Structure 1
Amino acid sequence: MGAVREALDALSLVDHHCHGTVAADLGRDAFEPLLTEGDAWPGVSPFDSPAGVAVRRHCAPLLDLPRHAPVEQYLARRSELGWREVQRRFLSVSGTDVFCVDTGFAPDRLTTPREVAEAAGGSAYEVVRLESVAESVRAAGIEPDAYADAFRAAALDAVRRPGVVAVKSVAAYRTGFGLDPARPSDAEVTGAARHWTARGGRLDDPVLVRHLLWTAVDLGLPLQLHTGFGDSDIRLHRADPALLTDWLHLTAGTIPVLLLHCWPYQRQAAYLAAVFEQVHLDVGLTLHHVGPARAGAVLAEALEITPFRKLLYSSDAYGVPEFFHLGALAFRQGLAELLQERVDADELSLPDALRIARWAGRDNARRVYGLPDDLPEGG
């Protein structure tokens, strides 16, 4: 094992974007859909995918099973241990001691940020999803001409909760990024709110999404933006972060913008991080879906031109705790292989490689989110 891998294995990670896990024991019918961003297909198991294979290879031993254990054996052992013990094992072994948890999407009962932290023996912070705030405002029956002020007040209340460090938008799902970059006028917002309150449903009006993004700027906290890969609700060509270029010009000098996931647009995201001071990125979600075997290839593309203080680690684990472990494992292995290769080729000094590893795994997130300097550093 090389020196970079040893250092990364000993580094306690900051997972700057993740979710809770389902707080219940899961049978096969409930577990399998959580392995994929796709829909369930009759006769096709999500276990027969790169993510499913990685679970059986890298997660089975943590349940006291052999590598590549059969699916039935794997699921039976999960049930035998119970969801709390399964969660504890995977989160504690991930070597992550700080979690920034998006609490805005919870169709099932998910573990809270506090429960995530307790399972890992670490600490957790909250990320507020602004679309959820807006939809709560509409559901309260607000008049259209009062929507803008009501949303701003509700968003301010949400971000003032103890432990909130960032906000997030899923504009990529709702409208895509091909939006007019300018801040909408009060009249535009009122008109759009009138149409939305009349028809109901989720927030997917382009004017109101623009208003949400500009409200995020006004809030002053880092803004996380889902980009690229997601479930079938997304239109991938509209989730290219390069479409944000004009908006990033207009918001220069305001808040940090964190581009989440990015695949297959990691190169576009890298370009934005290279030319806009406020832009940072990760390739979370992608890593546990491609698995440790391909994580290095994705990270190599993301780091072709990305400044080293701009790459962050995230797992984007959701639903099943296996993804906390797989995300961390893929990140450590992929980044270590990439950096060690450059050290061996004398393209990078070992001290520089170790600094980059620490920045990406921990310190960049601490700086962007203003996390305490005295976070524990043990592995």
Structure 2
Amino acid sequence: MSLLDDVELIDHHCHGIVRMDLDRAGFESMLCEADGPGRWHGSLFDTHVGLGIRRWCAPLLGLPSLAPADDYLAARHQLGVDEVNRRLISSLPTRKFLIDTGFQPESLTSPSELAALAGGVGEEIVRLEQVAEHVATSTSAARFADDFRAELSRRCANAVGVKSVAAYRVGLRLDPARPTDGEVTDAAGRLLRAVESGAAARVADPVLTRFLIWSGADLGMPVQFHVGYGDADVDLADCDPLLLTPMIRALGELDVPVMLLHNYPFHRHAGYLAQVFDHVFVDVGLALHNVGPGAPGVLAELLELAPFGSVLFSSDAFGLPELYVVGTTVFQRSLAGYLEAGVADEAWTSEDARRFATGICRGNARRAYRLEDS
């Protein structure tokens, strides 16, 4: 029996899943951070996450473990998306999902819809840039700051945190100072002029990014940051969490948790930040199911410096219910193996291991996000 067999999880960063059947190309486009199967790298089933789906999801659809990809997709199509979603999500030990609703919400399940499949609870994480881009379609430069604060407050009334995708838009080397009202008005003016000329509303301005982050922190809510590994839109060199150090220091004055998501390949840097800043929490969610057999090593490297009380579980599953299953399974196996090895080596007691496990799996998220008992 594994140390984590009866430990329920809180998934502190994840997304909805699709409600429609997918062809092979559509399915593979959601497997990992690549856009889809390509001329040169071939099928994305031939990745660690693709192998994980064949290994752990195939039996949930009535197939043998490691069934061929074609057989898996055929079974998926025959069962239909609703039944596939039900089977895969209901297999999870997760009972609370903190869901980023800021990307393609119209095509994905809502927090309540997804959580219902697991008999759990869904909570919303509000994406700051999405709110700002909505406001930008119906405001003026002079009113932008007040209208954004009002809309953010409304959107966050039933949410448990906010998220910034600054890493994708401007990088993480952010000036920590609050922008002045005049700076925000000028930056909003540039955004609105671009919208008026036909461009999509897209916040990619350092001043506006800082304004959004401070506005979210002013609500007293945890602020999530995408860090490190992502798709081709991100410049990975600008995503080292050490670049956020001045902003982390500044946000510490408000006593709001800073949540560093994913972090790979900078997870050791993130572990350092979690050690030296009491309000920093970390995960390696997106990385684990992508690195496959390397997952135990990545998690161990995060835990070299990060206090056990600062580490959270995240699947970062998006679109495919399979990513929930693989992400959760790889995390459980990696954490259980790490903690059980420590007991065997007499580095900590079995009671310590159990305490660390329940904290990382759910207790730390409950504290950081001020959640009700799960």
TM-score after normalising by structure 1: 0.94
- Code of the residue aligned with 1:29 in structure 2: it is A
Alpha-carbon separation, structure 2, partners of 1:115 and 1:249:
37
Q: Is the 8 A contact 1:295 1:333 kept in 2?
A: no
The alignment status of 1:318 with 2:332, answered yes or no, reads no
Q: CA deviation at 1:107?
A: 6.5
User: What is the 5 A alignment of 1:109-128?
Assistant: 109-128=107-126
Q: Match for 1:182 among 172, 177, 184? A: 177
Corresponding position: 1:42 with 2:39: yes
Q: Which residue of 2 aligns with 1:150?
A: 147
Structure 1 counterpart of 2:236, which letter?
A: L
Residue 167 in 1 paired to residue 167 in 2?
Answer: no
Q: Secondary structure at the match of 1:9?
A: coil
Task: Give me the TM-score of the superposition, normalised by structure 2.
Answer: 0.96
Contact 1:189–1:211 (Cα < 8 Å) also in 2:
yes
Deviation at 1:220, TM superposition (A): 1.0
Total equivalences in the alignment: 366
Give the residue type in structure 2 aligned to 1:158. Answer: R
Once the two structures are superposed, the pairs formed by residues 11-160 of structure 1 within 5 Å of their partners are 11-40=7-36, 41-42=38-39, 44-106=42-104, 109-140=107-138, 142-160=139-157
- 1:212-257: per-residue Cα shift (whole Å, max 9, x none)? 1111111111111110111100010111111011111112142111
Secondary structure, counterpart of 1:251 in structure 2: helix
**What's the secondary structure of 1:126's corresponding residue?**
strand
For 2:191 and 2:253, the matched residues in 1 are separated by 32
Q: Does 1:237 align with 2:275?
A: no
Q: Supply the AA of the counterpart residue of 2:151.
A: A
Give the superposition deviation at 1:42.
2.4
1:210 aligns to what SS in structure 2? helix
Displacement of 1:117 in angstroms is 1.0
Over 3 Å off, 4+ runs: none
* Structure-1 separation of matches of 2:327 and 2:106: 22
2:335 matched residue in structure 1: 335
Paired residue secondary structure (1:128): strand
For 2:295 and 2:60, locate their aligned partners in 1 and report how far apart those are by CA, in whole Å: 21
Which runs of no fewer than 5 residues in structure 1 stay unpaired?
none
> Counterpart of 1:168 in 2: which secondary structure?
strand
Residue aligning to 1:281? 282
Distance 1:346 1:30 in 2: 48
What is the aligned partner in structure 1 of residue 210 from structure 2?
210
What's the CA shift string for 1:124-157, capped at 9, x where partnerless?
11111010000000011x1111111111111011
How far the C-alpha of 1:48 sits from its partner, in A, is 1.1
Aligned Cα RMSD in Å? 1.1
Q: Distance in 2 between matches of 1:224 and 1:78?
A: 34
| Cα distance in 1 between the residues matched to 2:68 and 2:223 | 41
- Rounded Cα–Cα distance in structure 1 between residues aligned with 2:339 and 2:355: 11
For 1:45, give the aligned amino acid. S
Give aligned-pair identity as a percent: 48
Q: Is the 8 A contact 1:294 1:334 kept in 2?
A: no
What SS class does the counterpart of residue 126 from structure 2 fall into?
strand
Corresponding residue SS for 2:34: coil
Whole-Å separation in 2 of the counterparts to 1:122 and 1:357: 20
What's the secondary structure of 1:213's corresponding residue?
helix
Written as runs of structure 1 = structure 2, the 5 A alignment for 1:217-256 is 217-254=217-254, 255-256=256-257
CA distance in 1, matches of 2:35, 2:323: 18
Matched to 1:262, the amino acid is N
Residue pairs, 1:277-316, within 5 angstroms = 277-291=278-292, 293-316=293-316
Tell me the residue number matched to 1:262: 263
Does 103-112 or 262-271 show the bigger shift? 103-112
2:194 to 182, 185, 199: 199
For 1:88 and 1:22, locate their aligned partners in 2 and report how far apart those are by CA, in whole Å: 12
The Cα shift of 1:294 comes to 2.2
The AA in structure 2 aligned to 1:37 is E
Distance 2:95 2:175 in 1: 40
Deviates more, 1:41-50 or 1:318-327: 41-50
* Cα pair 1:22 1:108 within 8 Å, conserved: no
